[in-house]
């Protein structure tokens, strides 16, 4: 078996259908198995998979176990030399999967390989980024990377100045399309399930790097990623989850000083955004209820961030 494709789904039935269609269409030249992990969806996603894609292996969870834990379920039964983690709102293009496998075969030093990811309008989606650091968090909190995206200083965390047009060693490959060598997984272990959603690929890439493996990017394969399809109805909670995952990364891999500094910076991140959302509450009647909820969430997060990553995690 060349490849095991693991797709985690939570209430994205229609985009999951498009994803699976593209996967089977673009993998006719390599031997693959597709594993779909459904995290207790309420939109009949599992029923759709059974009816329309009976060749896929389907695991139905009775609860939402999160991204890392669900992927680990797929990895546990994977038979391929490689495992491709693929988001359910992703469409692969022009033999992208086979091209990525070929690239990985030519680079045995790589534990992880990523490819070019596009938005639905075919503009570049800036996947691949640097590991969290105090400097990167300061830049993130101030949004300077949005004002100066071509700056190698302000755009350093997201590498926003890079067009993703050449082969390059990177810190982190985004989990929406992440090809991982099974041999490397056997050495380093699976994803850390403390990361419910967000940050798991950052932690994983960091562990691969410490074990001597490389994380590589190739421009010779492309996929479209809609982004955030599972999170649209729970945006405030996902904002907390994302920042909690960053703090967990610091807790695991940095010393106490850096961890406490990160807690304060996350608090600053939320604090700086409260005036903007208060202004929206005052001047925008149409979105006032949701804006007010965001204000409450950010005020709570400002205080919870100082208490650490567990306090910041939203209740599930």
Worst-scoring range by mean pLDDT, 205-214, 236-245, 279-288?
Answer: 236-245
Tens digit of each residue's pLDDT (9 = 90 or more) over 46-65: 999 999 999 999 999 999 99
d(CA 269, CA 120): 29
Share of residues in the chain with pLDDT > 70 (%): 97
Distance between alpha carbon 68 and the CA centroid of its chain, in Å?
Answer: 10
The two three-digit tokens of residue 279, written as one number? 């202004």
Under a CB-based contact definition with an 8 Å cutoff, are residues 143 and 121 in contact? no
In 3D space, the residue among 299, 303, 302, 297 whose CA is nearest the CA of residue 315 turns out to be: 297
* Eight-state DSSP code of residue 190: S
In 3D space, the residue among 178, 179, 175 whose CA is nearest the CA of residue 82 turns out to be: 179
pLDDT for res 232: 53
Q: Where are the domains of the chain?
A: 3-128+164-225, 232-312
More confident position, 310 or 205:
205
pLDDT for res 150: 87
The two three-digit tokens of residue 126, written as one number? 């800036």
Those residues whose C-beta lies under 8 Å from the C-beta of residue 29, and which sit 6 or more positions away, are 95, 98
Q: Which contacts (CB < 8 Å, 24+ apart) does range 60-67 have?
A: 61/37, 63/39, 64/10, 64/39, 64/40, 64/316, 65/39, 66/39, 66/193, 66/195, 66/196, 66/197, 67/8, 67/175, 67/195, 67/196, 67/197, 67/198, 67/200
Under a CB-based contact definition with an 8 Å cutoff, are residues 80 and 3 in contact? yes
Tens digit of each residue's pLDDT (9 = 90 or more) over 277-307: 999 999 988 889 989 999 999 999 999 999 9
Q: Which CATH number fits domain 3-128+164-225: 3.10.20.10, 3.40.605.10, 3.90.550.10, 2.10.109.10?
A: 3.90.550.10
């Amino acid at each position: 078996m060349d490849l095991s494709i693991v797709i985690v789904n939570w209430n994205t039935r229609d985009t999951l259908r498009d994803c699976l269609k593209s996967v089977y269409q673009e993998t006719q030249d390599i031997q693959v198995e597709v594993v779909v992990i459904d995290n207790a969806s309420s939109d009949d996603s599992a029923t759709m998979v059974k009816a329309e894609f009976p060749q896929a292996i389907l695991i139905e969870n009775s609860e939402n176990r999160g991204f890392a834990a669900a992927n680990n379920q797929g990895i546990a039964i994977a038979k391929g030399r490689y495992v491709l983690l693929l988001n359910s709102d992703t469409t692969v293009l022009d033999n992208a999967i086979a091209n990525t496998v070929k690239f990985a075969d030519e680079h045995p030093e790589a534990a992880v390989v990523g490819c070019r990811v596009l938005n639905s309008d075919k503009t570049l989606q800036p996947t691949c980024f640097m590991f969290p650091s105090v400097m990167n968090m300061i830049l993130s909190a101030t949004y300077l990377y949005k004002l100066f995206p071509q700056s190698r200083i302000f755009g350093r965390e997201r590498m926003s100045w890079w067009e993703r047009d050449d082969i390059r060693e990177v810190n982190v490959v985004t989990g929406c399309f992440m090809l991982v060598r099974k041999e490397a997984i056997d050495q380093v272990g699976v994803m850390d399930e403390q990361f419910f959603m967000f940050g798991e690929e950052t932690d994983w890439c960091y562990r691969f790097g410490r074990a001597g493996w490389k994380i590589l990017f190739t421009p010779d394969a492309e996929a479209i990623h809609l982004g955030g399809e599972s999170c649209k109805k729970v945006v405030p909670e996902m904002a907390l989850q994302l920042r909690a995952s960053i703090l967990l990364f610091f807790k695991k891999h940095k010393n106490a000083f850096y961890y406490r500094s990160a807690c304060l910076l996350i608090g600053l991140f939320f604090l700086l955004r409260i005036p903007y959302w208060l202004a929206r509450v005052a001047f925008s009647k149409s979105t006032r209820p949701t804006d007010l909820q965001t204000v409450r969430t950010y005020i709570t997060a400002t205080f919870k961030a100082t208490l650490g990553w567990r306090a910041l995690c939203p209740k599930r």
